[in-house]
Amino acid sequence: MKTHSSKSSGRGFTLVELLVAMAITTVIILVLVGVTSVAIDTWKRSRSEVRAASQGKSMVDSMARDLEAMVVRTGNSYQWLHAETPSTMPGADSQGKIKEASTNALDLEFFTSVTDRYDGGIGTSDDQGGDISGVSYKLVYEDPLTSSASDYGTFALHRILVDPDDTYKDLLGKTDLHSAFQPYDSGSKSTESFICENVYQFTVTFLVEISRTSGATTTKLTVPVTMGDKFINSLQVNGDKIVSAGSVNGATTDEINAGRIVGAQLSLTVLTDFGLEQLRVRSFATDADRAKFFAKNSFEYSKMINLPGK
């Protein structure tokens, strides 16, 4: 009997085939990593833009509520509103940790009647019955966690709300509201008053109604008075009159000081996270370059409101 034996033989991969397969796999992985990286960067930037837009709208609405409830009492010489451009813009003294300082900021202090004037809210045990609070808005450059201009600094907007009891004792009936606010303003670089980050510009334009007489005719005009280094750097409401630092938009200082504030336009420019990172490493050769950068990496929100006071 003849027995047949079968021998199975298998052919393995050669070294060249393995190298080719590894090269193809590497290319595919690199392509996938690249696509994933682009997708993640796009998602981060989109999320940053949405967050910046949301912050800008929320802050403008918050300031509008405070100003719409502004309190001014005439027939006295006390100060009811103080608006002043800081001598040093936020970011300008940050020791090189950011390349471009804010181009417009404002220290704003006034009296208001808002629903959050007590920490616990109206009708709670904290409510002592007062209805007027002092409020301050201020833009600084700092790390919100450490209250210093560190490597993680940002343009931070602060809102200081003084409860009615302290407002009555320390702020009402003062001829210099800014000085009276100083003990409370020392908390402007604390996490308690921090409300919004990446606010690059904080601008307020007051609408002042003036009277202009020509012969026997008196005309009422509304003049926009923008606070800032290139405009008017200080404006106060002292009882029956406005005290401003100069003329603007064709209106003389005397006309503005004899007028009354009938409205205000609030404007915030909020940077995206990517935009803030870029400001830490770059500066701009021209104003056109700066404008192009901010058009791409920031959101601006404005709101016009009517004011009940002078």
| 63, 205 Cβ separation under 8 angstroms | no
- Arithmetic mean of pLDDT, 278-300: 86
Residue with tokens 């609030």: 266
Query: What is the structure's pLDDT at 127?
Result: 52
Residue 51 structural domain? 36-306
Residue 234 lies in a domain: yes
Query: What is the structure's pLDDT at 275?
Result: 86
pLDDT digits (tens, 9 = 90+) for 21-70: 888 888 888 888 887 777 766 666 666 666 666 777 778 888 888 998 89
| CA 291/CA 132 separation, integer angstroms | 40
Contacts of 35 (CB under 8 A, 6+ apart): none
Task: Report CA 77 to chain centroid distance, whole Å.
Answer: 32
Query: What is the structure's pLDDT at 198?
Result: 87
Residue 12 lies in a domain: no
| 206, 264 Cβ separation under 8 angstroms | yes
Contacts of 301 (CB under 8 A, 6+ apart): 53, 56, 57, 59, 60, 267, 268, 270
pLDDT digits (tens, 9 = 90+) for 61-95: 888 889 988 988 888 889 999 999 998 899 887 76
- Tell me the three state secondary structure of residue 80: strand
pLDDT digits (tens, 9 = 90+) for 119-148: 544 444 455 556 889 999 999 888 777 666
Structure tokens at 303: 């709101």
Query: What is the structure's pLDDT at 121?
Result: 46
pLDDT digits (tens, 9 = 90+) for 180-231: 998 887 755 555 788 888 899 999 999 999 888 888 888 888 999 999 867 7
Residue 201 lies in a domain: yes
Residue 47 lies in a domain: yes
Q: Which residues pair with 79 in a beta bridge?
A: 238
Residue 233 lies in a domain: yes
Query: What is the structure's pLDDT at 191?
Result: 59
- Arithmetic mean of pLDDT, 248-269: 89
Query: What is the structure's pLDDT at 124?
Result: 45
| 193, 160 Cβ separation under 8 angstroms | yes
Residue 23 lies in a domain: no
Question: Based on the structure, what is the number of domains in the chain?
Answer: 1
Beta-strand (E) ranges in 184-259?
194-196, 199-214, 217-226, 234-238, 241-244
Maximum C-alpha span of the chain: 140
Q: pTM for this structure? A: 0.78
Residue with tokens 């930037």: 45
Query: What is the structure's pLDDT at 229?
Result: 63
| CA 133/CA 169 separation, integer angstroms | 11
More confident site: 109 or 163: 109
- Side-chain-facing half-sphere of 48: CA atoms under 13 Å: 18
- Tell me the three state secondary structure of residue 222: strand
Residue 6 lies in a domain: no
Comparing CA positions, the residue from 157, 187, 185, 158 lying closest to residue 171 is 185
Query: What is the structure's pLDDT at 122?
Result: 44
Kindly report the average pLDDT of the chain as a whole number. 81
Comparing CA positions, the residue from 68, 66, 229, 205 lying closest to residue 136 is 66
Residue 15 lies in a domain: no
Comparing CA positions, the residue from 84, 80, 130 lying closest to residue 307 is 80
